Copies of this chain bind each other. A is one copy, B any other.
Amino acid sequence: MLGILAIAPSCQRSSVSRLTQEIVNEAQNKTISVAQRPTLFAKALADAILEVDQEIESGIEVPIPKDMAGGYTHERHKRNWLILQQAGSLYQITKQEKYASYIKESLMAYAEMYPTLALHPTQKSYATGKLFWQCLNDANWLVYVSQAYEAIYDYVTEEEREHLESQLFKPMADFLSIENPQFFNRIHNHSTWANAAVGMIGLVMDDQDLIDKALYGLPIKEGSNLDKDNDGGYIYEKGMAKAGFLAQLDGSFAPDGYFTEGPYYLRYAIFPFLIFSKALSSKMPELDIMNYRDGIMTKAIYALLNQTDANGQFFPINDAQKGMSWEARELVTAVDILYYEDSSNKTLLDIAKRQGMVLLDETGFAVAQALDNDEAIPYKQQPMVFGDGEDGTEGGVGILRNQNTCLVMKYSAQGMGHGHFDKLSFSLYDDKGEVVQDYGAARWVNVDQKGGGRYLKENKTFAKQSIAHNTAVLNATSHYEGMIEKGELHHPYLYFANYENREQQILSSKDTNAYPGVDMHRTMILLTDESLPNPITVDLFRISSDVPAQVDLPVWYQGHLLAADFEYDKALNRLETLGVGYGYQHIWKEASGIIETDGTRSLTWFGNDRFYTTTFESEIGEELILGKSGANDPEYNLRYDPVLIRRRSKVAKTLYASVIESHGSYDPVSEIPLNPYSDIESLDVVHSDDEYSVITVRTSENIGWTIGIANQENSLSSNHSLNVGDDQLSWIGPYIILKLQK
C-alpha cells in the first residue's frame, strides 16, 4: 500500500504554508479531484483516500494492549498510526472535516486509555513499551501520530489540546525519555526513533524541554547495569560522552555516510533521521540540520543508494535479508525529502521513477511534478570506497564497477551485533543479480512460520561464520573464533585502492587480527579489456601464518555446476558434513579431489541464464571440495547453496590466485549456447614471497596480463623491480598491471 509511505507535510504549525500553493488552492475548493495533480502524487492521493475512507467507515478501534508483534492489538495500533498520519495529510490537502474529526476522536480514545496503562504485559524487551511490547514501537507510533496531531492542531479547541497533551502526548514523551533512559540515551537506531518521537511531539506542542532532550539527550550516567539489548548489542558504548539526536548524527555514520551495520540496517535507520530533520529544518532553521556534519544525511542517502547492485538491491552484507532494495518505503522518504531540500539532486528523480511512488506531502509533490516535467537525470552507480567507523578509519567497504559487473570487497569493522565474521570477503554481481553470493542472514523477516520472523539459530551457527563467506578460513575456525567481543576490538584496513582507470579498478586490503599470528592480504581487480566479453575479476589472496595451518578458501558460486576440469569423487549414496563447528557442520561435503600436479584448474557454472567460470592456480596436494549448505538444519531454515572450497593443508605462507569471468549465455527457447567456454587459458603464480606477488593470466587468444603487487610498500612513489623468469618487471607504486600482447 502506498498509504504507509505517506508522511504529513511537516511538524510545524505553520507548515501548511509550505505546501505547494496548488494543492492548497484545490483543497480549498473542497474538491478531491486528483486528475490534475502530478501523476505519482495523484496516485498517492487516490490510494490514501481509498484506504483512509475505508477505515473511517469501519470505525475507530483502540484496544487495550496485550499482544506481541503479529497479534491483534499490536497490528491494530500499528495500523492506527499509519491511518492517522495519512488522515492528517488528507485533511491538509482536502480540508474535508471528516479527516480532522476522525483524528480527533481517535486521539481522544488514546488519551482516555493511556493514563490507565501499566507496562505492556509481555515484558520481553530490554525496554518494554505501553502500547506495544517494546518502546521502539511506541516511538514509531509517536513519530507518525505527531504528524496527525500537527495537522489538526488548529482544528481542535484549546481545551481539547490541553486534554490531549496532558493525558497522552506529554506522558508518552516522558515515558520514552526519562522513564526509559536505556532506550532513549543510546547511540543506536532505537534511540534515533526515541529522539525523533520526543522531538517531533515537542515541536508540535512547542515544548522546548522535550526538544532539547531530543536533540541533546539526557545526562549520561556511568556504570549502568544494563549491558545488552535484545539483539545482543551493547547499550552503552564504552566512552560514550553524549546522547540525543545530534550525537546520533555524529556517531552513527562514517564521514562519507557509511553505516557500520551495513546498508540493510542503514535503510531501516535512515527513516527517523530524515523525518525529524525535515521537521527541524522547518521549525529550527538556525540548526541548519541538513548541513550538519558537512551534510552527513545527504551523504548517508547517497551511500545507501550506491551500496546496491544494478537492480537497486542492497548488498546483503552482515545480517541482511536479500531482495531489499531502493524501492523500500524508507528510501522513498529519503529520496523525496532530499530532493525537496535540494532540487539540484536531479538524479534522485531517476530513483523516484523506479520507485514508482512518492510521499503524500510537498516533498512527494515536488518529486512527482519534476518527474512529469521530465527533469530526471539517470542515476549511475559509481565505483567507490567507503570508510567505516566514526572517523572513517576503521577499514571499510570497496565497490568496483564497470559495465554490467560489480565487485564488493568487505574489510570493514565488525559492525556490532549484526556483523559477520567475514574479513576480506567479497561478493560479485552482474546486471541479472548475484554471481558469487554473500549468504546474508538466516532469517525470514516477519514470516511467522520461521521462528516468528526473528533471527534463526542458524544465523549464528552458519550465516555469521567465516566459512559461509568468500574469504579464507584457517584451521576450520572462524575469524576471532566467532566472538563478537574480540571482533569489535579490531578491523582490517585498506592497503590501497584505485578506481580512476575504469578498465583496471583495484582494491587491496589487509587483516592482521582475525587470527593471532596471521596476516591476510587480498587484492582484487576488476579488469576490462576489449578482448574479453565482460570485465573479469582477478583475486590474489595471500596468507602468512606464524605456524602452518589448514586454509580453506570458499567461493559461493550461484548456479548449477556445469563442468570442472579437475578430477573429483562425488559422494553417491551417502553424504556427510564437512566439519563439526564454525559453520562447517552446516555444509554437506558432496565431492572432493586432490590435485596431483601444479597448474591451472577451473569450474564452470550456469546461473542467471549465463555461463561463469572461475579459473585458479592449484598446488600439488591441494584439495578441491564441492559442498552445499543445508546440513544440521532440522527445520529447513537454510538455503541449500553450492560452494567450491580450495583447501591447502599445513601451509604457512601461501597465495591463492584466481579469476572469475562471465562468458556467455543460454536461452532455453533458442537452445543455442553462446560462448559456453571460458576465455581464460592459464593462470600462473610466477612469483610469491613476503615482498611481492606476481601472477600471469592468459586468454585463449594469447592475450594476457602480468599483475604484480608490492606486499609491504603501498606508497604511490616507491620503485619496485624484480626478476620474473628471464624478464625484469619494474614499476612505481603499489602494483602493476601489464598487458601482454600476442
Q: Tell me the A residues contacting B by CB distance below 8 Å.
A: 321-325, 327-329, 444-450, 560-563, 570, 572-577, 585, 588, 604, 606, 628, 631-636, 639-640, 666-673, 676-677
Chain B: which residue is nearest A327 at the CB level?
A: B669
A452 to chain B, nearest CB (A): 11
A588 touches B575 (CB 8 A): yes
Q: A321-B671, A670-B329 are in contact. Are A573 and B449 (CB under 8 A)?
A: no
Given contacts A321-B671, A573-B576, 6 further A-B pairs with CB under 8 A are A444-B562, A446-B671, A448-B676, A570-B634, A570-B635, A573-B577
Chain B: which residue is nearest A448 at the CB level?
A: B676
B445 touches A634 (CB 8 A): no
Chain B residues contacting A666 (CB-CB under 8 Å) are 447
Chain B residues contacting A676 (CB-CB under 8 Å) are 447-449
A575 touches B572 (CB 8 A): no
A634 touches B574 (CB 8 A): no
Q: 22 pairs across A/B with beta carbons < 8 Å?
A: A322-B668, A323-B667, A323-B669, A324-B668, A328-B669, A328-B670, A445-B671, A447-B673, A447-B676, A448-B673, A449-B562, A449-B563, A560-B636, A560-B639, A572-B632, A572-B633, A573-B577, A575-B575, A575-B576, A575-B631, A628-B640, A640-B640
Chain B residues contacting A449 (CB-CB under 8 Å) are 562-563, 604, 676
Bound-state Cα–Cα, A379 to B235, Å: 62
Chain B residues contacting A324 (CB-CB under 8 Å) are 668-669, 671
Chain B residues contacting A677 (CB-CB under 8 Å) are 448
Chain B residues contacting A572 (CB-CB under 8 Å) are 631-634
Chain B residues contacting A672 (CB-CB under 8 Å) are 446
Chain B residues contacting A668 (CB-CB under 8 Å) are 321-324, 445
Bound-state Cα–Cα, A560 to B446, Å: 16
Bound-state Cα–Cα, A660 to B341, Å: 51
Q: Given B450, B576, B640, which contacts A574 in the complex, CB threshold below 8 Å?
A: B576
Chain B residues contacting A670 (CB-CB under 8 Å) are 328-329
A189 to chain B, nearest CB (A): 16
Bound-state Cα–Cα, A677 to B448, Å: 9
**How many copies of this chain?**
2
Chain B: which residue is nearest A569 at the CB level?
A: B634
Chain B residues contacting A322 (CB-CB under 8 Å) are 668
A405 to chain B, nearest CB (A): 23
Chain B residues contacting A563 (CB-CB under 8 Å) are 449-450
Bound-state Cα–Cα, A448 to B676, Å: 8
Bound-state Cα–Cα, A349 to B138, Å: 57
A446 to chain B, nearest CB (A): 5
Bound-state Cα–Cα, A631 to B570, Å: 10
Chain B residues contacting A573 (CB-CB under 8 Å) are 576-577, 585, 631-632
Bound-state Cα–Cα, A228 to B635, Å: 49
Chain B residues contacting A327 (CB-CB under 8 Å) are 669
Interchain residue pairs A-B with the least CB separation, the first 8: A323-B668, A575-B575, A449-B563, A561-B636, A445-B671, A572-B632, A449-B562, A570-B634
Q: A668-B323, A668-B324 are in contact. Are A446 and B673 (CB under 8 A)?
A: yes
Bound-state Cα–Cα, A328 to B667, Å: 10
B669 touches A447 (CB 8 A): no
B588 touches A669 (CB 8 A): no
A565 to chain B, nearest CB (A): 10
Chain B: which residue is nearest A667 at the CB level?
A: B323
Chain B: which residue is nearest A609 at the CB level?
A: B323
Bound-state Cα–Cα, A640 to B588, Å: 13
Chain B: which residue is nearest A668 at the CB level?
A: B323
A459 to chain B, nearest CB (A): 16
A420 to chain B, nearest CB (A): 19
A108 to chain B, nearest CB (A): 29
Bound-state Cα–Cα, A321 to B585, Å: 35
Chain B residues contacting A635 (CB-CB under 8 Å) are 570
Bound-state Cα–Cα, A670 to B446, Å: 10
Chain B residues contacting A560 (CB-CB under 8 Å) are 636, 639
Bound-state Cα–Cα, A383 to B125, Å: 54
A447 touches B633 (CB 8 A): no
Chain B: which residue is nearest A632 at the CB level?
A: B572
Bound-state Cα–Cα, A449 to B605, Å: 10
Chain B: which residue is nearest A576 at the CB level?
A: B574
Q: Given B329, B450, B570, B671, which contacts A562 in the complex, CB threshold below 8 Å?
A: B450
Chain B: which residue is nearest A355 at the CB level?
A: B669
Bound-state Cα–Cα, A670 to B628, Å: 30
Bound-state Cα–Cα, A668 to B327, Å: 10
Bound-state Cα–Cα, A631 to B640, Å: 14
Bound-state Cα–Cα, A328 to B604, Å: 27
Chain B residues contacting A636 (CB-CB under 8 Å) are 560-562, 570
Chain B: which residue is nearest A580 at the CB level?
A: B573
A695 to chain B, nearest CB (A): 26
A111 to chain B, nearest CB (A): 29
Chain B: which residue is nearest A588 at the CB level?
A: B575
Bound-state Cα–Cα, A655 to B449, Å: 30
Bound-state Cα–Cα, A631 to B628, Å: 13
Bound-state Cα–Cα, A97 to B577, Å: 69
Bound-state Cα–Cα, A359 to B563, Å: 37
Bound-state Cα–Cα, A635 to B570, Å: 8
Bound-state Cα–Cα, A447 to B560, Å: 13
Bound-state Cα–Cα, A576 to B576, Å: 9
Bound-state Cα–Cα, A365 to B310, Å: 38
Bound-state Cα–Cα, A487 to B147, Å: 72
Chain B: which residue is nearest A585 at the CB level?
A: B573
Bound-state Cα–Cα, A734 to B677, Å: 58
Chain B: which residue is nearest A447 at the CB level?
A: B673
Chain B: which residue is nearest A561 at the CB level?
A: B636
Chain B residues contacting A673 (CB-CB under 8 Å) are 446-448
A308 to chain B, nearest CB (A): 12
A318 to chain B, nearest CB (A): 16
Which of A329, A577, A668: most chain B Cβ within 10 A? Answer: A668
